[in-house]
Structure 1
Amino acid sequence: MKRIKVLIIDDEHLAREIIRSFLQEDDSMEIVGECSNGFEGLKAIQKLNPDLVFLDVMMPKLTGFEMLELLENPPFIIFSTAFDEYAIKAFEKCAIDYLLKPYSKERLKESLRKTKVAISQNESQDQKIQSLSRNVDQKQESLTRVVIKNGAKINIISIDKIRYIEAMDDYVRLYTKEGDFLKQNTMKYYEKSLPVSDFVRIHRSFIVRIKEIARLEAFEKDTYVALLHDSTQLSVSRSGYSRLKQVLGI
């Protein structure tokens, strides 16, 4: 079996050092690089094409999950994390493995054994990572930002900048005062993840920030449009109108 190319991504120097020292004892592993944040990790994965990545979850600039969202064909992932238990259960279902800091050399060897089996069987990691991201995101208390890749550019959009969201087949379009951005995700995800105190789904195609709504106007029989402060008009369904009446107190 050829040597497995490994990339280590962790913002803690000591954590990287521990992983490196353990891996150096395994002749089947070749460490091709180390990174201290998600931006560096993203570039390194695209440049070095590793077979396996040891990935921390909570890092500055980009979290581990945000970084994975930007990869079209992610490599195999072993999470090395101090994340709490609800996320760990998701890791067990979807990732190759997780290492809960602090961990032993034997625990890491167990992860490597799983990885070698997966690589020898030519399994695809892409579906596992997408499922992992969805499972963890659904358990977040509230979304705070959205990361979008546009060519070589990465936009990090704070949730408080979003005016409204429109469904676009397998994508959504996020509208801000600075422009609009296309993201591959579902309306259902944003309906569940955005703070309910700030956003409301008014139609199968629209989620809007409540403060952006200037007024509601009758359109046709039993239908309405939401008129935003900049004169944008958004369709309001019957169920959306019921939600709006509740949140607006009308």
Structure 2
Amino acid sequence: MKVRAFVADDEPIARAGLRAMLRAFDWVEVVGDAADGPSAVAAITALRPELVFLDVQMPGMLGTDVLRRVERPPFVVFTTAFSEHAVTAFELGAVDYLLKPFGPTRLAAAMDRVRASIGEPAPADALERLSGALGGGPISRLFVRVGGALVAVPVERVSRFEADGDYVIVHDGDARHVLHLALSRLETRLDPRRFARVHRAHVVNLDQVRAFRPDAAGNLEAELADGSRVPVSRARAQELRKLGR
């Protein structure tokens, strides 16, 4: 049985080009396409494809919001010209992420991942797993850009996350990575048993906290295993005491 696929992209040339490239995969049948977010939601709901190629930025609704409005989310491969959306794509449980412009070789690699994720013959179990990811459960890894590649960083390895305006700096040992999302948004996807917001600009990995100590002015700081210190707000200090009980 063929995998039923759907293409959502506001660019007619991009839609036609992707549909043409998908003809190379005899196990895939493209059942429709859409040029904007609301139309994509309606069509995906009606057609129930197993696989959707979804542009992140479309008129009327972001691609990520399209997925949130579909009751039974399909497998999804995000497509976009903007690399900063990669982190969000993978957080939402995307099978892969295609950075435009992409060709048959890159698409073939994505389709290998799709087939491995869907499995044969029944994708229902995997659909449930993806539904769980979309439901907002804790993430176990982040994808960060290193040179021209997207590299997976296990979340448990991160010592702290630091807000920098609308971005987040990931402290991973001696490495520093920049995520293109707000700290408040990232915090909702972190395991609260492991990570704690100790300050408006800092989320720390509790497994890497050596101690909470007062600084010279009497304000509380978190001392981490790598030797760094971050401020702890008074409001957070009381919450942290509860975590230690």
* TM-score with structure 2 setting the length: 0.54
Matched, 1:5 2:55: no
Shift of 1:14: 5.8
Task: State how 1:110-189 maps to structure 2 within 5 Å.
Answer: 124-125=58-59, 128-129=62-63, 131-132=65-66, 139-177=135-173, 179-189=175-185
**Partner Cα separation in structure 2 for residue 15 and residue 225 of structure 1:** 57
> 2:215–2:221: 8 Å Cα contact kept in structure 1?
yes
**Is 1:94–1:131's contact at 8 Å kept on the other side of the alignment?**
no
Instruction: Name the residue aligned to 2:235.
Output: 239
Secondary structure at 1:5 match in 2: helix
Q: Find the counterpart in structure 2 of residue 84 from structure 1.
A: none
- Return 5+ residue gaps in structure 1 as ranges: 24-51, 54-75, 78-90, 109-122
Larger radius of gyration: 1
Alpha-carbon deviations, 1:127-170, whole Å to 9, x = none?
Answer: 61254569957732111211123442212112122111000101
Task: Point out 4+ residue stretches in structure 1 off by more than 3 angstroms.
Answer: 91-97, 123-127, 130-138
Q: What amino acid sits opposite 2:212 in the alignment?
A: L
Give the fraction of aligned pairs with identical amino acids, expressed as a percent. Answer: 14
In 1, are the aligned partners of 2:173 and 2:226 still within 8 Å (CA)?
no
8 A contact 1:147–1:156 mirrored in 2: yes
Tell me the matched-pair count: 163
2:159 is paired with a residue whose SS is strand
Q: Say what the alpha-carbon RMSD is for the aligned residues.
A: 3.9
Cα distance in 2 between the residues matched to 1:144 and 1:93: 32
1:218 equivalent in structure 2: 214
Deviations 1:35-55 (A, max 9, x none): xxxxxxxxxxxxxxxxx79xx
Q: Which runs of 5+ in 2 are unaligned?
A: 1-11, 67-87, 93-132
Q: 1:102 to 1:237 in 2, by over 3 A?
A: closer
Distance 1:126 1:171 in 2: 25
Q: TM-score if structure 1 supplies the norm length?
A: 0.53
Conserved? CA contact 1:222–1:238, under 8 Å = no
